[in-house]
Chains A and B, each alone.
Chain A
Amino acid sequence: MKNLTLLTSGLALCAASMAFANQDLQTQIDNPAQWAIQTGDYANQRYSELNQITADNVGDLQVAWTFSTGVLRGHEGSPLVIGDMMYVHTPFPNTVYALDLNEDGKIKWKYAPKQDPDVIPVMCCDTVNRGVAYADGKIFLHQADTKVVALDADSGEVLWDVVNGDPSKGETNTATVLPVKDKIIVGISGGEFGVRGHVTAYNMETGEQEWRAYSMGPDSDILMDPENTTHLGKPVGADSGTNTWEGDQWMIGGGTTWGWYSYDAEADLIYYGTGNPSTWNPAQRPGDNRWSMTIMARDPDDGMAKWVYQMTPHDEWDYDGVNEMILTDQTIDGTERKLLTHFDRNGLGYTLDRITGELLVAEKFDPAVNWTSGVDMDPESETYGRPTVVAEYSTAQNGEDVNSTGICPAALGSKDQQPAAYSPKTELFYVPTNHVCMDYEPFRVSYTAGQPYVGATLAMYPAPDSHGGMGNFIAWDNIAGEIKWSLPEQFSVWSGPLATAGDVVFYGTLEGYLKAISAETGEELYRFKTPSGIIGNVMSYEQDGKQYIAVLSGVGGWAGIGLAAGLTNPNDGLGAVGGYSALSDYTALGGQLTVFTLPD
């Protein structure tokens, strides 16, 4: 007992003095005048301490300046601001601009990568990119063709580059990277092409690969210790990434890693989620298909998994688990807890203990969700942590070549990658959601490397018997597992909001509005229509003592596929066909940054 105490205090001392996180990046993040990381901070809270723009004065907001990116198609992610420089990225061809904020946004340097356009059609769902990262004087870009490039933040000079995947096999990239310590953590896309997902760490100085952890496969590939890696408090056991699959299906098993990454410096763990198992036809991959659809907690030094939680075993609906993991320290029943909150594609909002992986809350964050009646929360139960699947909506139980109808949510999820925000002032999560349902019919497909490997046909439509729109913007209490309030939206909300110390929450809409609402009540305080639909994330920075709000417009992405021509409900009969208005009636392509501030 005494020994243990000594040991622990020694560790704590060590932790306090060590250069955890990435020291430079942490310092930049700690300065609220900057936006140094796509997710706002390592915890993915998307919260700005800036408070010049408040609920009282946001109604006076004006456009300060704008910038055309020169690229059409879907613009996700946001700019970064480090010092006097703003770094703006684009979808394919993934141009990066360094704008000098001291000179009215003059282009200080521009990086225009040369990429083979053949990568374009291999990207599922548009050529989006969720932005660059910064650390140690470098800008990190992960291109569509999976080349990871380190640029000198001052000059744009290429310092090193490394290729993370093979687009000819369907491996592509849409995500940003996470700088941690002396490494950058990098994911991969391609779940609809039979890619076996992985996360890779590269040395920040040299680009050398340090480790790679696959989502499925032998223990040595998935970097799990059968005894010490836990799933809901129990050891995962040997061969968990192969014995939950039939035959060699795990080799083309999906579980890609194209979402957001967070990091807890004190626990020294990175967190992320894995995507759908492939194919979309569940009959072709019997078993739980571990570790697709899983929240992962890994050691950034060697990649070893500390704990995992598979949310949707044996997926039957394409409910990727890649959405962001938001880290908060909150009090539950008088006890300070280190929490991880995650809004999954499957429509459940999860709250876990991020140190142990204990499941605390799993509740629906859209009342339309119907594929499950809930998650078994009894630790003594054999099905602890598993969702109870409603037979009517089970595409696996209904079988191949059967069209299962009325499943909510649709494959794009109650929420996709568009990241939620958290305000420590209100202790509320602000969540952009989709309110869309689907019919889903799985059937047999054959695998060809580099070709789509889908195996289901689906039709999507606005949630029936609701407000008729396809989205909601909600405020969520992650401890009670309850919606506090919900704002109906005509289209899915595909923009990552920003919460601020000024008690204002900002988000974009697919019609192109930037909206400001009260963090307390959700009351709308301001709106401005930007040139194109918004699927980018809102950020804030301060320049010469003034607070600015910025967002990328440029409609596209998943949202641009289903919504461009409008959605119809095939079950409504002929009368309703064409009854839902199309996004193309509101907006057109165009990449632009719009920056807002208060008048002098």
Chain B
Amino acid sequence: MTRPHILIAAAALVAGSALSAAEGVSMDDPNIKVDYQEDGRYFTEDGVPTFNVAEDGTVDWPTFSGFRRYHAECHVCHGPDGEGSTYAPALKESAVEMDYYDFLDVVTNGRRKVGAAENSVMPAFGVNPNVMCYLDDIYTYLKAHGSGAIDRGRPAKKEAKSDVYAETENACMG
């Protein structure tokens, strides 16, 4: 309990000094700032998953995993790097602006915006393990890019996958 806190304080310090945030997004935002870490996954003080980018650009494993899963499951509508397409919103912004639990709700249950000017439908991914087992990963990846902590493209360096993460992943994917 004490150890993660110390570790995180150091990481946050690094992040605060090394990163150039996207316009209007502060790395000290309580919805972004790392408070603690458990088995390779980082959290805010409210227990919301967040990303961690070290000074040399190394991203946490779940955020890297989110990059991979996003570009399999989401990019055919929402565009590369969460930048949006001609018909689906830029999720890199949604991940920063939306409440985490609302984000989960939309991915799990879908939503419809259908009218005279719009034909937007987000499908429900609740039964899709390829999405649901990696939902926090996809969320932190998009939040990392949306806040300007990582650029477009594949993160070059990543932390190793933790044993607990691997166990959880295998159990979830079946």
A interface residues, Cβ below 8 angstroms from B: 71-74, 92-93, 117-118, 120-122, 124-127, 192, 280, 403, 439, 441, 443-446, 448, 451-460, 555-556, 560-562, 564-570, 574, 577-578, 583-584, 589
Would you mind naming 16 contact pairs between A and B with Cβ atoms under 8 Å apart? A72-B119, A73-B87, A117-B112, A117-B121, A121-B110, A127-B119, A445-B130, A451-B130, A455-B130, A457-B67, A457-B72, A458-B71, A560-B87, A577-B153, A578-B152, A583-B86
Of the listed residues B68, B85, B173, the one surrounded by the most CB atoms of chain A closer than 10 A to its CB is B85
Most buried by A among B70, B90, B127, B128: B128
Complex: A574 Cα to B74 Cα, angstroms = 24
The interface centre, meaning the residue of B86, B128, B151 with most chain A CB atoms within 10 A of its CB, is B86
Contact yes or no, A74 B72, CB < 8 A: no
Give Cα A506 to B113, complex, Å: 37
Q: How far is the CB of A522 from chain B (nearest CB, A)?
A: 29
B130 with A121: CB separation less than 8 A: no
B174 contact set on A, CB distance < 8 A: 446
What does DSSP make chain A's interface, helix, strand, loop or mixed? loop
Smallest Cβ-Cβ distance to A458: which chain B residue: B71
Given A446-B129, A564-B85, answer yes or no on A73-B119 (Cβ-Cβ < 8 Å). yes
Count how many chain B residues have C-beta atoms less than 8 Å from C-beta atoms of the other chain: 41
Which B132-174 residues have a C-beta within 8 angstroms of A?
151-154, 173-174
Residues from chain B with a CB closer than 8 A to the CB of A574 are: 151
- The reply to whether the CB of B80 lies closer than 8 angstroms to some CB of chain A is yes
Within 8 A of A (CB), among B26-77: 67-73, 75-77
What's the least CB distance linking A89 to chain B, in Å?
15
Contact of A561 among B75, B117, B118 (CB under 8 A): B75
**B residues less than 8 Å from A439 (CB atoms):** 154
Contacting pair A565 B90 (CB below 8 A): yes
Which chain B residue lies CB-closest to A588?
A: B86
Q: Which residues of B contact A192 (CB under 8 A)?
A: 76
- A583 vs B131: C-alpha distance when bound (angstroms): 29
B87 & A556 in contact (Cβ 8 Å cutoff):
yes
Residues of B within 8 A of A126 (CB): 85-87
Asked if B120 CB lies within 8 Å of chain A CBs, one says yes
Contact in complex: A120, B152 (CB < 8 Å) = no
Check B68–A565 contact: CB distance below 8 A: no
Query: Is A570 a contact partner of B154 (Cβ separation < 8 A)?
Result: yes
Given contacts A445-B72, A555-B86, contact A561 B77 (CB under 8 A): yes
Inter-chain contacts of B69 with A (CB < 8 A): 457
- A74 contacts B76, C-beta separation under 8 Å: no
Q: Is the CB of A443 within 8 A of B86?
A: no
